[in-house]
Structure 1
Amino acid sequence: VHSTQFMEFAEVENHGDFHTSEDGYIHTQDQRGVYIIYDVALEDLKELENQLLLVASQYIKKEKSNVTCEQFSGSNILGWAHASVDRCAVLLDLWTCETAFLEKKCQLLDVYFEAYQHALDPEERFALAQAIIDIMHKRPRFDLKLEYFVNTYKDECICLQLHLQLLKDIVNQQVDAQREYLHKIWREGQRGGIGEFGLPYNVITKQLISLNTSRPTLKNIYLLEFHPSLGLVYLIPKALEYIYQEFYGICRPKTASKTSNLEKQVLQLVVDEWLTMEKPETFYNSQIQKDLFAEVLIEDPALVQEIALSLLEEGADEEKKTSREKQLFILDSFSMLLELAMLRHRLIEVSTESALLARLYKAFAMEAGFGEFHLYLRPMLFESASHGEKADHLPPLYITSLLEDDSCVDRYIPSSLPLSIQEIDSHIGKFSFRTRDGVMQLLCPSAIRNMQLILACQVIQKNALLVAVQQASFCYLVQPPRTLDIKVS
């Protein structure tokens, strides 16, 4: 139920309820401060008690199953009942493991709840609420074939801890990036006027607070500091689930314990990749880093505003016949500027994906027996090609035939990864977002079309790399057919 629909229910009496935390215990109070417990919470507690008793009974019974029926006799009834098994110790272990599991869930929920309080979009808030509910209903995946349940709880707690570590680091980095962006916007202070319309509000750095009352979860923020971009945190569990499903389809674990272990390894891999992840511009040469990835000019709203105003001033020098033509010129100018900013953003995004896929492609190529040059095969010009007789009758040439004789292949290996357009046309691939003059040269219809062509070439290269990597990784899934040794008499 959406929050707006929830507030429309007149019969709901707990709109003013709130919760407090004291010594690790969470208390719910109504609008008058009276401690209350919801009936649904009592039902969930009763259901949890039944589940824990079933788990404890199952593992006690598993210990009893080692005794055969022939060993049962009147004198051995205590041994058959395994009276030596300490039921209280089993319940204590179960209680301790369940408490640790719920504590890890609470820590993870606190991070999502803080992100929820920053979200402003209704759909993002609804998606974050769904992610919170999914974590609340998460239960350990018990493997009844194991001797005891402690390892199951241990794996589940490790999964929650890795998820928490990843989420906290991402959110804290996003908060730092947003603060740096706000500082860049308001470095000269607020002056008022129409020029500041649409910009995010400045943060009053007076008093730091913690949104979480029980324990500090994320960075402390200022009283009126909001970061709506944290609403996109709901995409993180979806991405993790997608990655896990991909590995699940490859590994196909047979038991619940192997499933938990697979999720633990996937989360550990994601955390390691996040902590050691290189900046996307490092895959390309220094010139591309300056011309495309530099944030000095195009990422600064004040400088972009100056470029837009100067573009309008250049158009104002020309004689315009009617006010309608002036309005169309202003609209076209701002449209081109927005289109250029969007093209740069998409080009950076696609270039980053291409660089990551290229690294996987080179790994698969080396495993298949090719060199690193296989990624940089260049088209051969007709002017430099040698004439061959009866070329139309030659058999088809497969790339595998070049493993032994690759003399006809251009073994070109650049020092860094080039853009896709630079492998085809070096003139169109020359652009710059680093200087004001470079951006002004791109603000024309022909330059916009060239940027669209550059983006299209990069998307094609990314899709080709994606298909090649998926095809190569599919080879690991295909099992070689088994041959039966049949003797013919």
Structure 2
Amino acid sequence: HLGLAFFLQVHGIQFMEFSEVENQDDYYSTEAGCIHTQDQQGVHVMYEEALSDLKELEAELLLVASHYIEKERGHKVGSQPKSGQDWGWAHAGVDRFAVLYDIWTWEAALLENKRQLLDNYFEAYQHTLDPEERFALAQVMTDIVHRRPRFDLSHPYFVKACREECTCLRLHLQLVRGILTQQIERQREYVQRIWREDHLDNSNTFGLPLNIVCKQLISINNSCPASKNIYLLEFHPSLSLVALIPKALEHLFQEACHAYRPTSASGLASLERHVLQLALGLWLTPATPEACYSAQLQKDLFSAKVMGDPFLVGEIGLLAFKSAADEGRKQGQDSHVLLLEMFSKLLELLTLRHRLIEMSLESAHLARLYKELAWEMGFEEFHLDLRPVHFEFASHRDRADQPPPVFITSLLEDGARVDSRYSPTALVLAISEVDDNQIGKFSFYTKEAILKLLLHSGVENMQVTLACQAAQKNALMVAVQQVYFYHTPQGSCPANVEVSLHDREARGMSSLPPANVRL
């Protein structure tokens, strides 16, 4: 507690520069579920700040226990003790030792859950090298240390509030531990793949992540590993991203509060538990939104066969430079300028592909939400793919002078007014609506296709493709946000937050919207 709070004020490097401070390393051990602190000489000690915190905690717990003792049913507010009835007014029938035992037992359980969660964040902290990221993780750990149960003073006892808080901490622990484990496994797989012997020599290891020396497994924590054992010389700086988990959970919680508007402390705790359960089910078993696109597009855009290998990308850059240098000599261009321009285009192409993949995945998520909300409003899946027909391609119709329908129900009841209810089997990129033959035709699956993008106008075409995809994603975002602004969740139970399209069909929900919904 003291170490985390102090770190938020003074960086670790600056702390070492203080000449008047004697730097000593204390040793921490866990025995029988209790944490022991020993100084450099092996003497068990307690920090002065820890004793001060213990006194504050004791005073707080006594206040909470006193409040619930006074809520005992025999007590009437405003009543005065009378002769011969002092025992009833003083709640003599309440077992105060049992109350104190309960509150200290649940406090110990709360601290144990905090410790386990802190161990996971501390492991990520040990892998983090950037000072700002270490600072963010230290702030996350400090917030966990100061977290307290949400006591609902209207309840007859405090056990429910403590149980809810411990449940939330355990769910948070499962979420962080699962994400850390998955990230470590993926990082190990990537590092082992790029450090293959057939790829490396003494001249091309610059810029690669540190190799893993698989010789001695260790545990960062003294008691047991929070996520999994790692090797002595194994570092994964990307684990610092777990500092974003509390921010994401806080955002989800605020959105859930806006939707369900809990009115009590117990309602807030219950809602947070449901949000954590939802995040646990979605984040640890993530969907594959790229599967919404065609198999050909998955191969051309999402495949990391070539673009995920830094050595192949380097070879492509050198091949493109040699090809451009041959033409540059004829025109008298400087080879150094050509080298800089070619690798700048290669970096631009890498960035454009990465951003296009992100935009496409976000569009797939938004398209799923759009379809679900469209079903609730009475539309079918084809509504996502409705597009205006150009005048020169529109078919002739009689009685064209009639005004268009005002309400959605009029359109749904008269199916003849809909030109086409086309619904493709797979999503397509937004560029296909503009040009699918020239600009929208690209591939990152082979070296030859990537060379073609580099040597021709591939970078400019990819910029147009990305701009179209960004416009489509923003349009979907606006549509979904507009619906959610007026959307009222059905039912009062937060457990119904995640309802799939198939669930709605199985329940036989009506496909007709309210009569006052306008186009």
> What is the TM-score normalised by the length of structure 1?
0.92
Residue among 403, 407, 417 paired with 2:427: 417
Q: Does 1:440 align with 2:440?
A: no
Question: CA offsets, 1:357-381, max 9 Å, x none?
Answer: 1111001111111111000113323
The answer to whether 1:159 aligns with 2:168 is yes
Whether 1:313 aligns to 2:322 is: yes
Deviation at 1:115, TM superposition (A): 0.1
Secondary structure at 2:86's aligned position in 1? helix
- Counterpart amino acid of residue 322 in structure 2: E
Is 2:484 aligned against 1:452? no
The reply to whether residue 200 of structure 1 matches residue 209 of structure 2 is yes
How big is each residue's C-alpha offset from its partner over 1:287-315, in whole Å with a ceiling of 9 and x where there is no partner? 11111111111101121122122222223
Q: Secondary structure at the match of 1:195?
A: coil
Cross-structure match for 2:25:
16
Structure 2 Cα separation of the partners of residues 285 and 434 of structure 1: 15
Q: Secondary structure at the match of 2:67?
A: helix
Matched residue, 2:393 = 384
Give the superposition deviation at 1:405.
Answer: 2.6
The 5-angstrom pairing of residues 43-192 of structure 1 reads 43-63=52-72, 66-67=75-76, 72-188=81-197, 191-192=200-201
Equivalence for 1:299? 308
- For 1:431, the equivalent position in structure 2 comes to 442
Secondary structure of the equivalent of 1:33? coil
> Judging changes above 3 Å, is the alpha-carbon distance between structure 1 residues 440 and 153 closer, same or farther for their aligned structure 2 residues?
same
Question: For the Cα contact (< 8 Å) 2:38–2:45, is it kept in 1?
Answer: yes
Q: Distance in 1 between matches of 2:238 and 2:303?
A: 22
* 1:194, distance to aligned residue in structure 2 (A): 2.8
Residue of structure 1 in register with 2:365 after alignment: 356
Separation of aligned partners in 1, 2:339 and 2:47: 59
Q: Distance in 2 between matches of 1:285 and 1:398?
A: 37
Residue 473 of structure 1 corresponds to: 484
Corresponding residue for residue 226 of structure 2: 217
Identity in percent:
56
Letter in 2 for 1:410: S
State the shift of 1:448 in Å: 0.7
Quickly say closer, same or farther: Cα 1:416–1:175, change in 2 above 3 A: same
Name the amino acid aligned to 1:134.
D
Distance verdict in 2 for CA 1:151–1:210, change over 3 Å: same
Give the aligned CA root-mean-square deviation in angstroms.
2.4
Q: Name the count of aligned residue pairs.
A: 478
1: CA distance, partners of 2:309 / 2:79? 83
Aligned to 2:513: none
Mark the CA change 1:129 to 1:367 in structure 2 (over 3 Å): closer, same or farther: same
- Aligned-residue offset at 1:273: 1.4
CA offset at residue 57 of structure 1? 0.6
2:377 corresponding residue in structure 1: 368
Gaps of 5+ in 2: 1-8, 491-519
**1:265 paired residue among 274, 279, 295:** 274
Residues 326, 399 of structure 1: alpha-carbon distance in 2 compared, 3 angstrom cutoff: farther
**Which string of whole-angstrom CA distances, capped at 9 and with x for unpartnered residues, describes residues 120-176 of structure 1?**
111100000000100011011111001111110111111111111111111111111
Query: Is 1:344 the counterpart of 2:377 in the alignment?
Result: no
CA distance change for structure 1 residues 190 and 281 in 2, over 3 Å: closer, same or farther? Answer: closer
User: In the alignment, residue 351 of structure 2 is paired with which amino acid?
Assistant: M
Equivalent residue in structure 2 for 1:234, among 226, 243, 262: 243
Q: Is the 8 A contact 1:292 1:348 kept in 2?
A: yes
Classify 1:359/1:44 alpha carbon distance in 2 versus 1 (closer, same or farther; 3 Å).
Answer: same
Tell me what 1:464 maps to: 475
Letter in 1 for 2:481: Q
Could you tell me which amino acid in structure 1 is paired with residue 471 of structure 2?
I
SS in 1 for 2:36: strand
Corresponding residue for residue 516 of structure 2: none
The amino acid across from 1:297 in the alignment is V
1:327 aligns with 336
